[in-house]
Amino acid sequence: MDIEAFFESMPFADLLGIEVTEAADGHAEGSLAMRPDLSWNEDRVMAHGGVTFTLADTVGGAALVSLVDQPVPTIDMRIDYLEAGTGDLTATADVVRLGGDVGVVDVDVHAGDTHIADARGVYKTG
């Protein structure tokens, strides 16, 4: 499976402008260029929480897909928002558990040098 092409063909990720830039061996990275229509604030471009969440979910899934070579529906994801995302966003994900039925992935999201969110996703693998 061409992982980058698979995630580029996801309509919602495409709508937001999410790019999976790396996905191999249980690790994935991705990015999203911020723009005013993804902001929660009318006066300053600041990432809406749903945008940050979707980036984390997409990149987390890519990390797991790199190991199982099939789509992995999200079962659950929890996210801690640490700071406002006031620039382009990047996410880094690593698989922490791969089981026959589920996989667990940790994701860090940054805006430049600022760590803006930590997430843990659980995905169906079997």
Per the prediction, the chain carries an average pLDDT of 92
Residue 116: pLDDT above 70?
A: yes
Instruction: Report d(CA 119, CA 60) in Å as an integer.
Output: 9
Exposed/middle/buried for residue 82 (C-beta within 10 Å: 0-12, 13-18, 19+): middle
Statement: residue 83 has pLDDT above 90: yes
* CATH number for the domain whose boundaries are 3-124: 3.10.129.10
Q: Which residue has the higher pLDDT, 1 or 77?
A: 77
Dist CA 22 CA 90 (whole Å):
12
Q: Looking at 4-8, 28-32, 76-80, 117-121, which range is the least confident one?
A: 4-8
Percent of the chain at pLDDT exceeding 90 = 73
The mean pLDDT value for 49-65 works out to 95
How many CA within 13 A on the CB side of residue 112?
A: 8
- Residue 104, pLDDT > 90, answer yes
Q: Is the pLDDT of residue 48 over 80?
A: yes
pLDDT at 1 over 70: no
Average pLDDT rounded to a whole number, residues 17-31? 95
Output the pTM of the full model: 0.93
